[in-house]
Amino acid sequence: MINLSTVAHRDPEILSGAVVFIGTRVPVNSLFDYLEAGESLEEFLRQFPSVQRQQVIEVLEAARESVTTDALAA
């Protein structure tokens, strides 16, 4: 199981408690907004250079794991 606490966190002092990539002020939701709009992972990383590729990969893997686990439980 992926531990998201190594790549993302929530702090009430940062962006009103939005979940952000650790070491940045970039909301994790921005990644999903970019992908939903058809933008590439490379474009997201270009627009948000403070986010590391490995952080994004781990968030996406956690999302996949969550969806897969929820689907198996249904």
Most confident of 2-11, 15-24, 65-74: 15-24
User: pTM higher than 0.85 for the full model?
Assistant: yes
| pLDDT for residue 74 | 63
Beta-carbon contacts of 22 under 8 Å, excluding residues fewer than 6 positions away, are 6, 7, 8, 9, 55
Q: Which residue has tokens 């190594």?
A: 6
At 26, list the tokens: 């970039």
Q: Please give the pLDDT value at position 66.
A: 85
Stronger pLDDT, 10 or 1, i.e. the higher one? 10
Architecture of the domain defined by 4-73: Orthogonal Bundle (1.10)
Question: Which is nearest to 60 in space by CA: 40, 34, 32?
Answer: 32
Q: Which helix (H) or strand (E) holds 20?
A: strand 19-21
Tokens 């929820």 locate to 70
Average pLDDT over every residue of 32-47: 98
The domain limits of the chain are 4-73
